[in-house]
Amino acid sequence: MVSFLEERAKNIGGGGQNIMTDAKSVLNMSITVTVSAQKPPAPHGYISISTKRLLHNLEINAGARASVWVDSMRASSPTHIKSTPDDQGAWNLHHPSALEMFEQIIDASKGKQIIMFLDYDGTLSPIVEDPDRAFMSNKMRKTVRKLAKCFPTAIVSGRCRDKVYKFVKLAELYYAGSHGMDIKGPEKRSKTDKVTEHVIFQPASEFLPMIDEVYKQLVETTKSTPGAKVENNKFCLSVHFRCVDEKKWSGLAQQVKSVLKEYPKLRLTQGRKVLEIRPTIKWDKGKALEFLLESLGFANCTDVFPVYIGDDRTDEDAFKILRDRGQGFGILVSKYPKDTNASYSLQEPDEVMDFLRRLVEWKQLSMGA
């Protein structure tokens, strides 16, 4: 396991620069998971995607025009997505409901170890105006707790890991915060009832001083934009514009860009009504998914079935990894047609909860519980 981690550390530097300084100072691997190995069934197929791209994951840079910024910011809001009934029907053919196709999904997973990966905002909790109040329901928490008893389960979020943990409050899960740049395994209790935390990967530790510095500048710079909120997610930053008047979006984007001009080692991308600032290293939710599969002992196994559920553009990195691997599948949470690498869809967190409940019920029945 150590050799894998050291090799991974050598390969995550971006832009031709050696981002990592000392692999051993970053990696503190202490994870032990036992899962049952089963013989794999015959390979299963995937639903192909042939629809035209409806949204573009814009990489914002110094030369971007204000109009392009605003168009992209509008596209991140479901209220601005226009689709006809025909568009919706065609999209549903390519990305059918995971609830309606549940039996097909179960058939594809038979004989394999299911591993669950869940985004938080918009997946386990509804999207709200105040990101600090994105609470998951007690029913959802109970469902996720039961899920984790049946399958290894990870929360993969752009949020700070500690903040996601405070929302979820389940010690038995894996948590990958800051878009996978801060990964921790489940808490373990010793016979003396001492709790041990297992921080297993933090590939962007050297960026912490820079992130804190930029956070302070962004808070000061965006004060003049009513409704703007800057969130420090430890290894990355989020500038939320959900509560900002649309007429001020262009100005806010320019404010953020003006701060980042002095920080070429940080990149700016866009999510669901949020501007994301991250280190320029080759690491994202897809890499985090691969890392966790490796950590669980499924490096090159054919008897594993990863399921990733998410609603945002940043989740596409994980969806693509699963499609490229030809294992498991992604489920996009969306009421509107979006270009995606996910195989199935669910419309809202309530449907996510229903899907997770059915998984738990199926597992319990299969075990004779």
CA 11 to mean position of chain CA atoms: 21
The CA distance from 138 to 119, in Å, is 17
**Per-residue model confidence as pLDDT tens digits over 305-344:** 999 999 999 999 999 999 999 999 999 999 989 999 999 9
pLDDT at 58: 37
Q: Indicate whether 93 belongs to any domain.
A: yes
Q: Indicate whether 275 belongs to any domain.
A: yes
What's the mean pLDDT in 31-39?
Answer: 36
Q: Which of 279, 309, 341 is the last residue of a domain?
A: 279
The CA distance from 340 to 24, in Å, is 36
Q: Indicate whether 334 belongs to any domain.
A: yes
Are residues 107 and 148 located together in one domain of the fold? yes
pLDDT at 15: 42
pLDDT at 199: 65
Give the pair of three-digit tokens for residue 73. 């910011």
Q: Which of 220, 250, 279 is the last residue of a domain?
A: 279
How does the average pLDDT of the chain come out, rounded?
81
CATH number at residue 224: 3.30.70.1020
Nearest-10 Cα torsion for 161, 163, 168, 172: 40
Torsional class of 99: left (φ above 0), alpha (ψ -120 to 50), beta (otherwise):
alpha
The CA distance from 18 to 23, in Å, is 11
pLDDT at 61: 45
Give the pair of three-digit tokens for residue 282. 């080759």
Q: How far is residue 133 from each of residues 71, 121, 136, 165, measured CA to CA in Å?
A: 27, 11, 9, 14
The pLDDT of residue 37 is above 90: no
Kindly state the DSSP code that residue 144 receives in the 8-state scheme.
H
Contact 37, 303 (CB under 8 A): yes
Nearest-10 Cα torsion for 240, 245, 251, 255: -30
| Higher local confidence (pLDDT), 280 or 19 | 280
Counting the structural domains of the chain, the total is 2
Q: How far is residue 241 from each of residues 10, 145, 193, 249, 344, measured CA to CA in Å?
A: 36, 32, 44, 7, 29
pLDDT at 69: 59
| Higher local confidence (pLDDT), 199 or 317 | 317
| Higher local confidence (pLDDT), 300 or 72 | 300
pLDDT at 299: 80
Q: Indicate whether 31 belongs to any domain.
A: no
Are residues 311 and 274 located together in one domain of the fold? no
Give the pair of three-digit tokens for residue 295. 């950590």
Q: Indicate whether 114 belongs to any domain.
A: yes
Q: Indicate whether 15 belongs to any domain.
A: no
Are residues 212 and 266 located together in one domain of the fold? yes
pLDDT at 193: 57
The CA distance from 326 to 319, in Å, is 11
Q: Which of 250, 279, 308 is the last residue of a domain?
A: 279
Q: In terms of residue numbers, what domain contains 325?
A: 89-162+300-366
The CA distance from 354 to 333, in Å, is 13
Q: Indicate whether 34 belongs to any domain.
A: no
pLDDT band of 93, cuts 50, 70, 90: confident
Are residues 362 and 329 located together in one domain of the fold? yes
The pLDDT of residue 46 is above 50: no
What's the mean pLDDT in 110-122?
Answer: 96
What's the mean pLDDT in 80-91?
Answer: 69
Of 153, 161, 127, nearest to 271 (Cα)? 127
CATH number at residue 140: 3.40.50.1000
pLDDT at 21: 34
pLDDT band of 195, cuts 50, 70, 90: low
Are residues 305 and 250 located together in one domain of the fold? no
Lowest mean pLDDT among 32-46, 90-104, 239-253, 302-316: 32-46
pLDDT at 200: 78
Are residues 304 and 239 located together in one domain of the fold? no
Q: Indicate whether 201 belongs to any domain.
A: no
| Helix or strand (DSSP H, E) at 266 | strand 266-271
The pLDDT of residue 7 is above 90: no
**Per-residue model confidence as pLDDT tens digits over 184-194:** 999 776 555 55
- Where b means 16+ CB within 10 Å and e means fewer, 263-301 reads beebbbbbbbbbbbbbbbbebbbbbbbbbbbebbbbeee
Global pTM value: 0.77
